[in-house]
Amino acid sequence: MTSDPRHQVLVASNRGPVSFEFAADGSLSGRRGGGGMVSGLTSGLAARAVDGPSGSPAVWVCAAMSEADRAAARQGVVLAGEGPGDVPVLMLDIPAATFEAAYNGIANSVLWFVHHMLYDTPNQPQFGAGFRADWAAYHAYNDAFATALSGQAGTALSGQAGTALSGQAGTALSGQSDTALSGQAGKGARVLIQDYHLALAPRLLRDRRPDARIAHFSHTPWAPPAYFRMLPDDVAVAILDGMLGADHLGFLAGRWADAFLDCCAEVLGAQVDRVRRSVTYRGRAIQVAVHPLGVDAQALRARARADDVRAHATALTKGAGDRQLIVRVDRTELSKNIVRGLAAYRELLATRPQWHGRVVHLAFAYPSRSAIPEYRAYTDTVVKVAAEVNEEFGTPEWQPVMLEVKDDYPRSLAACLIADVLLINPIRDGMNLVAEEGPILSERGCALVLSREAGAAALIGENALLINPYDISATAEALDAALSMPVPERQRRCAAMTEAAAAAAPQHWLAAQLDTLDRRDSLDHLE
Ligand code: F6P
């Protein structure tokens, strides 16, 4: 194993690749984490461990998100994965109240809403005293990550973050260097910070560790300046200033990178080069780049060959009969636009009766962020509208919508295998990995109806049927076109989308970011 700390890679994200539950007997059991960011990083790091520079250690620093996670973190265990290439995980035991305020109060209820442009603006947002308390927690949460990464654990958050880092880790991690075990960045280490939860961490880390080579990656869209400036002025400045503490800022699509540059120019008055995509700020040049995230097609197909997926595919096919299947797979997330998707399907059936009895809409809408009232209300609406469509058009032989709300990964893979049409219509989406996974998995060669507001549209949109996600009639028309598309054309388009998604596989996405950080060495720093 190499001891050169510059080869070390530290990943920092809110959600980690593992989460814990209490079993009935009170013991802890671990489960793999989900979501686009986690799955992209997990397979990128795994491939790197297999193919990459031999022996370069990696550690993944994440937050404890539940009581069970906190209990695991408090045991001081650094959790090693079991698969080849799994990275050790360092969970930060951030106090529950601080975590809740930072995660639900700011990250999910403010920053997510801003970047996805989700506010009902006549009523929301309202930035008052409650917001300020949450914002202070968000700062403390970011500081806990920066402290852990910089190796000054034990000082932040009344020493609680330090507990997780104190590390009786040697047992779980034989062969790792001491620095890697403690979660500290070795001198010149590369630190990959993820997403809107950790917008302040790059600056907080740079202040402590000017030697670290820091990248931040946004897995969401970025709001245009007019929307971003809804944030209180000092908060808007703090977020941009925080991110610009990095050397390299990555985005999933050109639109999001350009919106970030526009915010830097308008909010900070920073010097922005839109052609080279760079920002000069506080005496440093920060590079902004686009790294689309694709899918490891081979690994995904291998998973889909497993018996559990095949059994689900058989059951779903039986349930649908010989009808065509329109499939969607989403978290029940406001930005995913599930209600308008159902409204478009309803309009398809209302205006084109030739499809009655010949199509089924299989909609997977898994629970998400139920701590937030808007999400609970949205989930109720999804269930209600699906029931209305069935009430309006269903017959004893035909149920037009099959809504499944239980999170079942193998079953959702099975749905993609047998889809004729995939409906992905988010209001805004950083990328949308299902839009890429669907065509890769599809055995029938599915047609893709895709929102032009998803980052994936830039990667695979040429072969999809692109829609304006607010236009229900246009979405119904696209569904009609997709259902009517000759199978050879569907298959040709599906193959082209598969190729584009596979070419941007996570290992390439990750390698591109690490290469850019390595190249920073040859750039002139102005400070
Ligand atoms: O879209 C960016 C992302 O990080 C996804 O990876 C993930 O689905 C989501 O945001 C975060 O979700 P959660 O709050 O459940 O971690």
9-23 tens-digit pLDDT: 899 999 998 899 999
Q: pLDDT per residue over 427-451, tens digit each? A: 999 999 999 999 999 999 999 999 9
Domain count, the chain: 2
Q: Is the CB of 216 under 6 A from ligand 1?
A: no
In this structure, the answer to whether residues 269 and 323 fall within a common structural domain is no
Looking at ligand 1, which residue's alpha carbon is closest to its atom 4? 37
Residue 470 located in a structural domain: yes
How many angstroms does the Cα of residue 220 sit away from the middle of ligand 1?
8
Q: What is the pLDDT of residue 168?
A: 27
Residue 124's CB: how many other CB atoms inside 10 A?
A: 14
Q: pLDDT per residue over 463-492, tens digit each? A: 999 999 999 999 999 999 999 999 999 999
Q: What is the pLDDT of residue 33?
A: 78
In this structure, the answer to whether residues 357 and 212 fall within a common structural domain is no
489 vs 53 pLDDT, higher one: 489
CATH value at residue 173: 3.40.50.2000
In this structure, the answer to whether residues 305 and 386 fall within a common structural domain is yes
Helix, strand counts (H, E) of the chain: 21, 17
Whether the CA torsion 388, 393, 397, 398 is positive or negative: it is: negative
In this structure, the answer to whether residues 275 and 390 fall within a common structural domain is no
Q: Is the CB of 195 under 6 A from ligand 1?
A: yes
In this structure, the answer to whether residues 193 and 233 fall within a common structural domain is yes
Q: What is the pLDDT of residue 173?
A: 32
Q: pLDDT per residue over 371-408, tens digit each? A: 999 999 999 999 999 999 999 999 999 999 999 999 89
Task: Give me the domain span that covers residue 384.
Answer: 297-503
Burial 265-297 (b: 16+ CB within 10 A, else e): ebbbebebeeeebbbebeeebbbbbbbbbbbbb
How many angstroms does the Cα of residue 243 sit away from the middle of ligand 1?
18
Q: Is the CB of 218 under 6 A from ligand 1?
A: no
Q: Is the CB of 332 under 6 A from ligand 1?
A: no
Q: Is the CB of 35 under 6 A from ligand 1?
A: yes
Q: pLDDT per residue over 250-293, tens digit each? A: 999 999 999 999 999 999 999 999 999 999 999 999 999 999 99
In this structure, the answer to whether residues 456 and 492 fall within a common structural domain is yes
Q: What is the pLDDT of residue 147?
A: 94
Q: Is the CB of 219 under 6 A from ligand 1?
A: yes
In this structure, the answer to whether residues 303 and 268 fall within a common structural domain is no
Residue 259 located in a structural domain: yes
In this structure, the answer to whether residues 374 and 413 fall within a common structural domain is yes
In this structure, the answer to whether residues 263 and 349 fall within a common structural domain is no
Residue 2 located in a structural domain: no
Looking at ligand 1, which residue's alpha carbon is closest to its atom 2? 219
In this structure, the answer to whether residues 250 and 229 fall within a common structural domain is yes
Q: Is the CB of 330 under 6 A from ligand 1?
A: no
In this structure, the answer to whether residues 346 and 279 fall within a common structural domain is no
Q: To which H or E segment does residue 134 belong?
A: helix 129-150
pTM above 0.75, yes or no: yes
Could you give the dihedral angle defined by the CA atoms of residues 304, 11, 217 and 276, in that order, rounded to the nearest 10 degrees?
A: -120
Residue 527 located in a structural domain: no
In this structure, the answer to whether residues 225 and 335 fall within a common structural domain is no
